[in-house]
Amino acid sequence: MKLDIGTYFILLGIILALSYNNILYAHNFYQNDNSVFYTLIKQFEIEKNLASKNQLSNLSSFSIHKGMADEFFYKLASLRKNVTENSNFSNQYDDTTSDLNLTTKALVSANLADEVLREYGLSIGLDPKVASGLINMSVGMIMKMKDTSSMNMSDSTNIDDMEKMSPMVDNQSSAESTKGSNVIKNLANYETSIELAKSLKTLFTNYLQGAKLEESAGLMPIPTEIKINAKGEMGQGIDNLIIALNRNAPVKEVYSIVHGQIHPNLFLAFSLKLKSD
């Protein structure tokens, strides 16, 4: 399909606005019931598996992962009546993942990427509110974090106060790992971020990488060529994310990968809808 010059520059503007780090913003996509539920399934499975692994290894993070698995279980049980302690619901829903439409699979991927970023923020010692805020924070705010491993912020804190904050450390689950520029202070969250990234990679490889993409409909359709290219760029972004986590990269780098390489390409390749706020 040939694009007229106006449409071409509009599309180019969208790509630039979503991708350039100096104007990078978080992406808040419209969800559906299945995207929320299957994201929780993935999170439950990860925490349950990490709890089992750490119990066998007698690691201190066992209780943290078990507690998180229990929390996700109760969330799942509140959404679906067939989720009970005696049911094999996790395997059951894993078997039906392939039946989900492409939009839902893409939304689950976007959610997993967000959770990778949040868990990684927690792992380097960010206050939970700040770590959750990474999902909605612009890269300009990230760049103003002089020392992201010592950031603590309340609801009333503004950006100018960030550099004055004292470290937040969880002594119960610390790990002095210094492969990159960050020290891992909360091992359980770091383990979760790694496993979430692996789950994202598996989801992409199994269900999105080989998906057949067609030109989107609407007033400004995205050509198939752009969608195919975006899908490839997303795959590379996931690989970059795993590499960054393994070397304890700065949180602003992890942020840039999630919101500059993964989310924008999910948006383009699978025609996701962005919330305006």
Check: CB of residue 175 under 8 Å from CB of residue 220: no
pLDDT tens-place string over residues 205-263: 999 999 999 877 767 788 899 999 999 999 999 999 999 999 999 999 999 999 999 99
Pick the closest to residue 203 from 36, 42, 32 (CA basis).
Answer: 42
Residue 140 reports pLDDT greater than 80? no
Q: Has residue 170 got a pLDDT over 90?
A: no
What mean pLDDT comes out for the span 26-46? Answer: 91
- Output the pLDDT for position 162: 30
Residues in CB range of 247: below 8 A, 6 or more apart: 179, 180
Q: What is the pLDDT of residue 74?
A: 94
Residues in a beta bridge with 177: 184
Buried b (16+ CB within 10 A) or exposed e, 127-153: beebbbbbbebebebbeebeebbbbbb
pLDDT at residue 159 above 70?
no
What is the distance between the alpha carbons of residues 231 and 228, in angstroms, rounded to a whole number?
5
Instruction: Decide if pLDDT at 35 tops 60.
Output: yes
The pTM (predicted TM-score) of the whole model is 0.79
pLDDT in the model for residue 154? 37
> What is the predicted pLDDT for the residue at 181?
61
Q: Assess whether pLDDT exceeds 70 at residue 66.
A: yes
Query: Quick one: average pLDDT of 74-79?
Result: 94
